[in-house]
Amino acid sequence: MESPSILVIEDDPAVRRGIIDVLEYAGYQTLEAADGHTGLKLALTANYRLLLLDLVMPGPSGFDILKALKRKRPGQAVIILSARGEENDRVRGLTGGADDYVVKPFSMKELLARVDAVLRRTCERAAPADQRPIPGGTADFRDNSLRFDDGHTESLSEKEAELLRYLIDSNGRIVSRDEILRQLWNLDPARTDTRTLDMHVMHLRAKLRDKSQRHLATIRGKGWRFTTETLA
């Protein structure tokens, strides 16, 4: 099983680098952003299990990002990292959807303990929501199956399920071949010559009853996009 990915949004380069190094040494995969603009985009579109979120930074604030997550990715696990330890800020962060609030300065040992605790807690919380709507039915990632409203069921391979979940959770954005190879196959696209990904997309379309590419669309020269709406 691949280790969880953690997104770190922190504008202080030294603090961000320290957190990234510790997380990667502990075996986690990481994504990072140095400001609120990049952070907001990644928070809403990237594939990750936990967000470590600074509050004060250039662009949208941590509170702005929390608010956007509550609308578009409810239930997303978040730990706030902030020098603002006042009670009002803690309450605002926790009622805004954060799972924990760590006041700077903190020890990396404490941070890792908080990360492990939140991931354990949210593991069970995520299980009931481990389903996604698809056209004409539901994708159930607990047993890697597609269940259609007419009673028909399709089984997905582990990689097909990972790919479908990644595309669905990208919320309609175009996902490139390079991104998928890096994130799901752990391959360097520059050194990889494989059509395996195309075969998985083709199999998914057949199982989704989407051979006309109305929902799992190829965007020529850019990648793929999944939408529950019919594309023009």
Q: Is residue 127 pLDDT above 70, yes or no? A: no
Helices (H) and strands (E) in the chain, counts: 8, 11
Tell me, what's the pLDDT at 151?
A: 92
Name the token pair of 231. 């594309």
Identify which has the larger pLDDT, 184 or 192.
184
Conformation bin of residue 105: beta by default, left when phi > 0, alpha when psi is -120 to 50: beta
Name the token pair of 206. 């057949």
Within 8 A by CB and 6+ apart from 91, the residues are none
Name the token pair of 81. 């990292």
- CA-to-CA distance for 222 and 34, rounded, in angstroms? 26
- CA-to-CA distance for 93 and 51, rounded, in angstroms? 13
Q: Is residue 128 pLDDT above 50, yes or no? A: no
- CA-to-CA distance for 115 and 79, rounded, in angstroms? 8
What tens digit of pLDDT does each residue of 31-75 get?
999 999 999 999 988 888 899 999 999 999 999 999 998 887 777
Domains in the chain (CATH in brackets) are 5-126 (3.40.50.2300), 131-226 (1.10.10.10)
